[in-house]
A and B are shown apart, each in its own frame.
Chain A
Amino acid sequence: MLYSVFIFNKFGTCIFHEDYNSGDQRKGVWVPTPKEANKFKLTAGLVHSVKHFILAVAKKEDLADGFFGLQTNSYKLHSFETATGYRMVMLTDTGVSFAEAKQPLREIYSNAFVEFVAKDPSYEHKKLCVITNTAFRDHLLVYLKQLSFFSTPAEELQH
Chain B
Amino acid sequence: MSASKANILSLWIVNKSGGLVYNRDFLGSKALDTNACLKLAGMFHGMHAISKQLSPNPADCSGIEVLEAEGFKFFCFESASGVKLLCSTEPSFHNAKAFLEGVYKVYADVLKDPFYVIDHSGIGQPIRQDRFDRKLDQLIREWNP
Q: Which residues of A line the B interface, CB within 8 A?
A: 3, 39, 42-43, 45-46, 49-50, 52-54, 56-59, 63, 65-75, 77, 91, 98
CB pairs A–B below 8 angstroms (21 shown): A45-B50, A46-B54, A49-B46, A53-B40, A53-B43, A53-B47, A56-B32, A56-B36, A57-B32, A57-B72, A63-B69, A68-B70, A70-B64, A70-B66, A72-B52, A72-B63, A73-B60, A74-B56, A74-B57, A77-B51, A77-B54
B34 at the interface (CB under 8 A from A): no
Least distance between A102 CB and chain B CB atoms (Å) = 11
**Is the C-beta of B99 less than 8 angstroms from some C-beta in chain A?**
no
- Are B47 and A42 in touch, CB under 8 angstroms? no
Contacts A57-B32, A70-B64; A63 near B54 (Cβ below 8 A): no
- Contact A75–B72 (Cβ < 8 Å): no
Q: A58-B69, A58-B71, A70-B68 are in contact. List 10 more A-B contacts (CB 8 A).
A: A39-B53, A42-B50, A56-B32, A58-B70, A58-B72, A66-B70, A68-B70, A69-B67, A72-B62, A73-B60
Query: Would you list the 3 A-B pairs with minimal beta carbon distance, nearest first?
Result: A73-B62, A71-B66, A68-B68
Cβ-closest chain B residue relative to A64: B70
